[in-house]
Amino acid sequence: MAQKKMILDLDTGIDDAMAIAYAVADPDVDLIGIIGSYGNVYVEDGVQNSLKILELLGATDVPVYQGLAHSSESDHFDRMPVSAQIHGENGIGEVQLPDPKRQPETGDAIDFFIDAVKKYGKDLILVPTGPLTNLDAAIKKAPEIATKIGNVTIMGGAVTVPGNVTNVAEANIQQDASAANNVFRKVPLTQVGLDVTLRTLLTKKETQQWRDLHTKSGEAFADIVDYYIKAYEVTSPDLHGCALHDPFAVGVAINPDFVQTIGLNMYVTTDEKYYGRTTGDPARLDDPNTNVKVAVNADVDAYLKSFMDHLTKLFKKQ
């Protein structure tokens, strides 16, 4: 058993599935739970995808909780058409995996997370790779946990590059800017945003290595990720591959040496014109006690080697 415990907060689409695989494969953490969110898919579908991926990987002991179904600003969630284009209607590249034998947990997702913070404290790692609605709800319900979580590493935001849903906003932050703003002001965290995730790319050369394993998980992940790569050929042809957004955040959470960061006090703008922008907080510019580490450069080669080693070894087993 590893000393460090990890909880993933996922809107399980294709890169989230790879994030699960990385967390399951890494020996330095124990994946103790997944909290479902909305974004790439509806929350119910994301929870089922998480359960299916865990079963595919032989990690059926990991509990999955259904988190909040929509942003803190609304009473419903409408999936963006581009999400279906990139991840497929089912969220995992239209690959049909068996219905999972394990069901979602019946307990409250927010309480599960709060209890984990109280139990593990500085040994707990949280990696949200969707909207920050669940984390926001947790710190509103139990404000004392905001500074007790050992490591919060988010996939979201953009500082040195444009956003991917508007010129200034990245999708995860834009889904619930109010929740993100509350988290950015109160929680020490590392932001793994588009600044670095767009540099960590996977191609069909790598997925062919998984296919060549001739295992169930290797072939399924090759099919899932090839769908993602094909979608990127349409949406981002200049990248020549698919971005490893969410699994890179998991990698950085475990090994921060994969990125170089700058310390900032940040907030998220909620006005209509710049909704969802992650930027420096003008009210705290002179405060030397910064709470956000913004990843601005990446050791791409080192991460990609780790990523392929982790997933390939895992897929060989199943």
Contact 40, 244 (CB under 8 A): no
301 is catalytic: no
Q: Would residue 240 show up in a list of annotated catalytic residues for this protein?
A: no
Write down the catalytic residue from 136, 245, 246, 310.
245
- Helices (H), ranges, the chain: 14-25, 43-56, 81-87, 109-120, 133-141, 171-175, 177-186, 194-197, 204-211, 216-235, 245-254, 300-317
- On whether the CB atoms of residues 45 and 22 are closer than 8 A, the answer is no
| Cα–Cα distance, 102 to 284 (Å, whole number) | 46
Structure token pair of residue 85: 């284009």
> What span, in angstroms and rounded, lies between the C-alpha atoms of 298 and 22?
18
Query: Could you tell me the CA-to-CA distances from 63 to 6, 101, 141, 142, 305 in Å, in that order?
Result: 12, 12, 22, 22, 29
95: tokens are 């690959």
Point out the catalytic residue in the list 11, 26, 136, 246.
Answer: 11
Q: Catalytic amino acids?
A: 11, 245
